[in-house]
Amino acid sequence: MADDLDESGLVPFDQFGNLLRQPWTPEGEVVWRAPEPFTARLQLSQFARGRAAGFVMWLDDESHMFPMSMTELVDTVRTVGVEPGGYVEAEWIPHRRGGAYGIKLTMSRRERRRVRSSRE
């Protein structure tokens, strides 16, 4: 059943509003939602290792967790930078990369390049 939901473009959250890297919780329910863009000031919280790749976890001001792949982290740092204390304010969108879920900047590749070149 989870594969049917994945193909529909939904992303998994837990019942507390945390984006799940994998559609599984030890207790409670997985809540499937459409990936909606959101603007937030997130704080870089920790580095973790999945089965196949490393990722980072971001926290919002209500301590909701949002995983991000290392590829997306590098793109985020290169595009918008990170404030002292590990903060980034941007528009994000949940998505699926490979077999895992996470967040990324909502900017297109062209928009990211434009921002980077204007910062240099």
Q: Rounded CA gap, 11 and 63, in Å?
A: 19
| Confidence at 1, pLDDT banded by 50, 70, 90 | very low
| Confidence at 52, pLDDT banded by 50, 70, 90 | confident
Using CA atoms, how far residue 92 sits from 10, 37, 76, in Å, is 15, 6, 10
CA 19 to chain centre: 8
52 φψ region: left (φ > 0), alpha (ψ -120 to 50), beta (else): alpha
Identify the three-state secondary structure at position 111.
helix
Q: Is residue 113 scored above 90 in pLDDT?
A: no
Greatest distance between any 2 Cα atoms in the chain: 48
Give the model's pLDDT for residue 6: 53
Identify the three-state secondary structure at position 93.
strand
pTM here? Answer: 0.87
Q: Rounded CA gap, 94 and 34, in Å?
A: 9
Mean pLDDT across the stretch 5-12? 75
**pLDDT tens readout for residues 15-48:** 999 999 999 888 889 999 999 999 999 999 999 9
